[in-house]
Amino acid sequence: MTEASQYPSLVWHLKNTELFEDLTPDEIEQMAKITPYKRFAAGEIIYHMEDPADALYFIRDGMVKISMYFPNGKEMILGLLGKYDIFGELLLLQSERRPNQAEAVMDTTLIVMPEMEFQRLLQQQPRIAMKFIQVMSTRLWQAQQWQAEVGAFDAPGRLANLLLRLAKDFGTPSERGTVIDLTLTQQDLAKMIGATRETVSHCLARLLEYGAVRRRRAPITVNTERLQAFLDEAST
């Protein structure tokens, strides 16, 4: 089977990426010539911390985990990204080094834009530059919002908030609730809320008793209304 029959047009994927949705068909065609596909197997590192910031990435399909590692070896998961999401945007910083690590959570296909081409595009297309600022402003606001929420809640509240976000971004409705169709372990959840695996286990048990969680093991199933009610109570 050829690549063309395996995957819809690269032009189609670029058109459905928020950053490029306002470009003309001709501009999209030109973009496709400098943004090849690249595939990564589950568990494969896309780039490490301190690697050169030499490309911007767009997710065609699959999922990517963005993490930071500390000198003591601990990992903090900053986020999970899915189809049409953008990452690697910090290549515009003067340090020119990656401040985080990107890893494919499952088999993933990326559209890769080299740094020099992206810089040229921003100079030639003011619309893209403005859209990029909007996208990055939204990303910054989300990060600040998450930081504020982390400070406002204890571990059960942080976990409930995380599960609500994951349900919104990756959830699938089912008879029992919303299935978060991700192969996340309790250790993964712990790395996302700054807690230990044991703490997450206790929090899941508490949320299960509350009716906010219906299934504790991956794929986790939640009741989003009960999760929100739990958070509302935790805020009072």
Q: How many other β-carbons are positioned within 10 Å of the β-carbon of residue 121?
A: 21
Return the higher-pLDDT residue of 98 and 204: 204
Phi–psi pair at 40, nearest 5 degrees: -130, 135
Q: In this model, does residue 164 exceed pLDDT 60? A: yes
Q: How confident is the model at residue 207 (pLDDT cuts 50, 70, 90)?
A: very high
Tell the burial category of 236 from Cβ atoms under 10 Å away from its Cβ (0-12, 13-18, 19+).
Answer: exposed
Sequence-distant (≥ 6) Cβ neighbours of residue 46 within 8 angstroms:
40, 57, 64, 102, 103, 104, 110
> 107-139: per-residue pLDDT in tens?
999 988 888 888 888 888 788 788 788 877 877
Range in 5-19, 163-177, 193-207 the model is least confident about: 5-19
Residue 34 has pLDDT above 60, yes or no: yes
Walk across the sheet containing 45-47 and list its strands. Answer: 45-47, 101-104, 64-69, 75-81
Per-residue pLDDT at 130: 83
Q: What is the pLDDT of residues 7-19, one digit of tens each?
A: 445 666 666 676 7
User: Quick one: what percent of the chain has pLDDT higher than 90?
Assistant: 38
Cβ pair 89, 133 in contact under 8 A:
no
d(Cα 94, Cα 25) in Å, to the nearest integer? 33
What does pTM read for this prediction? Answer: 0.77
**Alpha-carbon gap, residue 194 to 154, rounded angstroms:** 11
* Cα distances (Å, whole numbers) of residue 55 to 58, 77, 232: 10, 21, 41
99 near 90, Cβ under 8 Å?
yes
**Which pLDDT tens digit goes with each residue over 211-236?**
999 998 888 999 999 999 999 998 77
Pair of tokens at residue 194: 């700054």
**Residue 17 · residue 58 · CB < 8 Å:** yes
Closest CA to 87 of 174, 172, 18: 18
pLDDT tens-digit profile of 75-105?
988 888 888 888 887 656 556 788 899 999 9
> 80 - beta bridge partners?
65
